[in-house]
Structure 1
């Protein structure tokens, strides 16, 4: 299972499978990795307890919900505005991701909106705290790709 912080081959297989198929029954997962359902359930519980698995969620098609455009926004603001930008990012349903970054910019956000007018409204909210630069995604090649499960933890 987990020895000195490392996953064994079966643990890596369980984790990789759960990232692709979060609703797979333990009986089927056990069949694939060669363990009983109770053994798989115990391993998954340990991964949850150790914080390797932090939750389960449904993947939703934003476009079908009316969020037709995906945009990215860089925000540059004075240090005394950081918390205000963070609060706004948490409060706005349009913000999918918000990262505090190094370099010239302070924040990098991924935003989903229904239209260009809607995007402009969101940009204006952030512009109150500093400079913004936005780009609209034309297409998406990779999205929500699960992280690889390494054989050895990077140290």
Structure 2
């Protein structure tokens, strides 16, 4: 990756809707060169895809939380299959240490939070923390120089 690829990644992470024409105006490259670089970055697995960021609160999921699962009572494969099917879980990460999984969830109020915890309890020890604020989200990530 050269400095143009890095700049391209930065611009796209700041505004994923930026068109190839806009990118070619911001970078000293033609539209076909931009398209070729984007394709190469995608083929290398550097760009994973493009999606819209949705505000959970704006669609009624006003309680965001972090869930830690420990002392699993089932195999990781069984637990992961259960989590994949739960729409309240936004992210799930298998981690090292005394906690087995860290998840981020978005629910519609305290009753929905309670129901989510009840659904998870048969699988292990559940520890929840309600997110009060998020000072860092969707940070631009670039290779270290």
Equivalent in 53, 58, 61 of residue 64 of structure 1: 58
Match among 98, 101, 104 for residue 104 of structure 1: 98
TM-score normalised to structure 1 length = 0.88
Report the counterpart of residue 124 of structure 1 in structure 2.
118
Q: Which runs of 5+ in 2 are unaligned?
A: none
Are 1:114 and 2:108 counterparts? yes
Q: Shift in Å at residue 84 of structure 1?
A: 2.3
Mapped pair 1:77 → 2:71: yes
Q: Is the 8 A contact 2:9 2:142 kept in 1?
A: no
Whole-angstrom CA distance in 1 between matches of 2:10 and 2:133: 27
Are the equivalent residues in 2 in contact too, given 1:19–1:146 (CA < 8 A)? yes
Unaligned runs of 5+ in 1: 1-6
For the residues of structure 2 that align with 1:17 and 1:89, how far apart are their CA atoms?
Answer: 33
Provide TM-score, normalisation by structure 2: 0.94
Distance 2:47 2:3 in 1: 17
8 A Cα contact 1:98 1:109, kept in partner = yes
Q: How far did 1:65 drift? A: 0.6
Which whole-Å CA distance do the structure 1 matches of 2:72 and 2:105 have between them? 22
Secondary structure of 1:139's counterpart equals coil
Q: Are the counterparts in 2 of residues 72 and 109 from structure 1 also a CA contact under 8 Å?
A: yes
CA distance in 1, matches of 2:78, 2:102: 15
Aligned length in residues? 145
Shift of 1:30: 1.0
Aligned-residue Cα RMSD (Å) equals 1.3
Out of 45, 52, 59, the residue aligned to residue 51 of structure 1 is: 45
Secondary structure of residue in 2 paired with 1:53: coil
